[in-house]
Each structure stands twice: as C-alpha cells, then as structure tokens.
Chains A and B, each alone.
Chain A
Amino acid sequence: MNTKHTICAGLLALTSSIAVSGATFAADPVRVTQQGKQFSEKNLNLVAGQEIIFINDDKVAHNVYTIVKGKKRDLGLQKSGEEDSITFDAAGTYRVRCAIHPKMKMVVKVK
C-alpha cells in the first residue's frame, strides 16, 4: 500500500529528528500524548536515561505499561488530563501499550 509507506517514511523522519535532539540534550524528556485512543508517536528512538512523559489528552482513561527487564512497568489508570512518565535507563527495545486499548501501541528503541 503506497499511502502506508508514505506515512511510515514521515514518521521515521519525525522520530529521527527527535533522536537527534535527544542526543544533544540527553536529559530532555519526550512528550507523548494519548488522543483518539492513539499514541502521538508509534516509534521513538531515545538515549539511555531519557524519559517519556505520557499525557492523556483523551476523554477516556488509559493505562500505559511496558516490560522492562522482564518486569512490568505499569503507570496505572490515567484519567483525562493526567500525565505520568517512564524513564528508560537501559538500552534495548521496549513495546509500550495501553492495557485497556491494545490498539494503542508504540515501540521505543533506547541506545
């Protein structure tokens, strides 16, 4: 599907620019919003120690979680307007999902 590839390319460009800024200011957190039952990013490249702030801009509640070194990192129920964060200390690939809405998912690569 042509359209899909274009969208992917667009996302890649977006994420790589975030990765560049991430490398320059290692401590800067990345803000990811949850709106329309979607994460605003599908793929993110971070450096170790960087943080993602998850903001719920939806009318409904979400529950972000991921698995870090075999253990669940669960942000718990996040109501409309609330925000919370996860710091990714170790290199690796992380799959972040909403426990309530499994269609909401993103991949975080940490170097």
Chain B
Amino acid sequence: MSEKKSFGIKAAMVIALTTGASTLITADGHDMRDAYKRPAEIPFPDENPYVEDKADLGKQLFFDPRLSRENNLTCGSCHNPSFAWEDAQATSVGTPMSRLGRHTPTVLNLAWGEIYFWDGRAETLEEQALGPIQAGGEMAQDMDQLIDELKAVPGYVERFEDVFPGEGVTPENIGKAIATYERTIVSAQAPFDEWVNGDEDAISDAAKRGFELFNTKAKCVACHEGWNFTDWGFHDIGLGDNDEGRFEVLEIDALKHSFKTPGLRNIVERAPYMHDGSLKTLEEVVDHYNDGFTDRPSLSTEMVKLGLNADEKSDLVAFMKTLSSDDPAVSLPKLPN
C-alpha cells in the first residue's frame, strides 16, 4: 500500500480510563474500546494508487447516468449518499424496471474490504465496478457501447488521457477511477468515536451498556469487530430464505446461506436491513439475533439464543445509534457534455 490519503484524524488519541469505565475491561485486561480506534489513513492498493484527479473522475462516473443503458440510472441511484449510500428499499429497481434479488449494500468504508458483493464474487473494487454497469437488471449497459459513448464526449477523453496517459477510456480505467473514488467514501467521526477517544459525555449510559453487551452477552463482536464493525467474513445468520449466498460462488458446506458481514457505521440511515431487506428496524434486528433466527445445518456456530431482556435490547439499539456520523453533504459533480 503505497499511497495514503489522510482524512484528518488527530494524532494524539488519549483514552481516559476513568473509574466509570471499569466494566469495559476485557478478560485479558484491555479496555474494550481499544479495538475500535479508527485508522488514520485510507489504504490504497499499489496497483491503483490514490491520485486526486483519478478520484474526481471516478466521482463523475459514479454520478453519470450515461453509464446505464437507458441513460437514466447512476451508481448513486441505488448507492445514494442521502441514505448512507443505500436506497432505503428492501430491494431496488434496475434496468429493465425490475426488482433486484438482493438489497443494496452501502459503499461506505469499502477501502478496508477484502472481497465484494454480498456473496464475495468480486475480488477487487476495480473488478466490482464493472459488474453493475453490465449486469442485466442493474444498469444493463453494453461495455463496447459505453466506451464509444464516453469517447464521443471530448471532456471525458481529455480527463481519461490526463489521468491514464497513453491509455485513455478503457473498461479497466473506468474500474480504477470508480474504485479510487469509492475508497475515499469514509464515514466521519461519530459520537461513538468521541467516546472511544475519551469524551465520557459523548454517548448516553444506555449506549455504553449496549456497547458492553455488544462485546459480551450479545456476542455481536464475534462477527462485527473493529472500527468498521465487520470481519469482512461470510456467515449464515439464519434469515431463513433460500438464497445460498456465498455457497453459489465457493462450494464449501459451511458457506451455505452465508453473506458478507456488513459494517455497522451509519446503520440507522441504512434501513431496511440484511441481504434481502427483510428486517425493517434495528429493534427487529436485535429480536432476530435474540431468538428469531432459523436453525439449520449451515447456521453459524456463533449464533446462539441470547436471552436478552427488554432493557438490554434497547441498550443495544441505543449503542448502534451512536455509530452515525454527521457526514458532510455530497455535492453532485459537473459532468462533461
């Protein structure tokens, strides 16, 4: 990872271990919050380092409807920054006007990801970006036609040539530009982060109890770990539908009905939840984990009945609400025409 882009985290993060936080000490003597400190920089791969003009070009492509067959859908139609880069629907509508089989995931914080899509079928963000453009059901665009269309726009020809000298408009470079832009999409400091950094007043007592439950009795941390609250792994959490998920891509029995663990940043804004959009609220999510899941051979061994009472459930929800940051509004780019 050569190129890094700092996004303004203060270097000195001092954790104040106050007496009130004594329940947050783990079995091996650490403060539970230590595992949740935000990284200082965005990682970019050596094969596609950060360049500002490349990210700007990627943003234009992300919000350009000409990437879709009917010139009516942008990546942002489904990954809408107003809904924390989702679309507030159980499953969204693509081209032709038909419902997609899976819920739109967020594109927040994907720079730290490993493999992409709910089922992990794309190895890199670069490869991923070319998927929806061509996917029947999503943007349904023919790639050769798209290249011709973009080459007919002098402003794009110029920009691609600036960013990729001697290469210009190619599918690979469209993927690289979009991926670079996507890696810059990072959720900002949330009240939770302020608390991790030592501000005891940043979140409520209920949220603090919820955080402790998240790491202990409720077992959420087995899969939702670290500052972005994901292991980037694949699990069957017993939603009970027939989608085989990751198993369709990698035939390993433990992967039946398993889907990628989503991060939990800005989770309130991202309702409804899960790969099928079947849970409408965070309360429903907690009920699901408590005792609402379907037991079947592929169910993750980390999924057990939790026995949470009503107060504990509402504490968990209070905690998840502290993960929402007041991200600056995203402005639409000017597009060459």
Contact = CB atoms under 8 A, between A and B. Distances in A.
Q: Do A and B come from one complex?
A: yes
Interface of A: 1, 4, 37, 59-61, 63, 65, 72, 74, 76-77, 79, 98-103
Q: Is the interface of A mostly helix, strand, loop or mixed?
A: loop
B254 A77 contact: yes
B311 interface: no
Given A100-B255, A102-B120, 15 more contacts: A1-B4, A37-B231, A37-B233, A61-B302, A65-B252, A72-B251, A76-B253, A79-B301, A99-B234, A100-B235, A101-B233, A102-B114, A102-B115, A102-B233, A102-B234
Contacts of B225: 37
B114 A100 contact: no
A60 B221 CA distance: 10
Nearest to A79: B301
Contacts of B222: 59-60
B259 to A, nearest CB: 12
Contacts of B255: 63, 99-100
B2 interface: yes
Nearest to A100: B233
Q: How large is the interface on B (under 10, 10 to 19, 20 to 34, 35 or more residues)?
A: 20 to 34
10 contacts: A60-B301, A65-B252, A72-B252, A79-B301, A99-B234, A99-B246, A100-B235, A101-B231, A102-B114, A103-B233
B7 to A, nearest CB: 17
Interface string B210-225: 0000000000001001
B41 to A, nearest CB: 10
- Interface-centre pick from B225, B251, B254, B300 (highest chain A CB count, 10 A): B254
A80 to B, nearest CB: 9
A77 B301 contact: yes
B250 A99 contact: yes
Contacts of A59: 222
B232 interface: yes
A74 B252 contact: yes
B330 interface: no
B1 interface: yes
Nearest to B260: A102
Interface string B6-19: 00000000000000
B1 A4 contact: yes
A4 B41 CA distance: 14
Contacts of A103: 114, 231-233
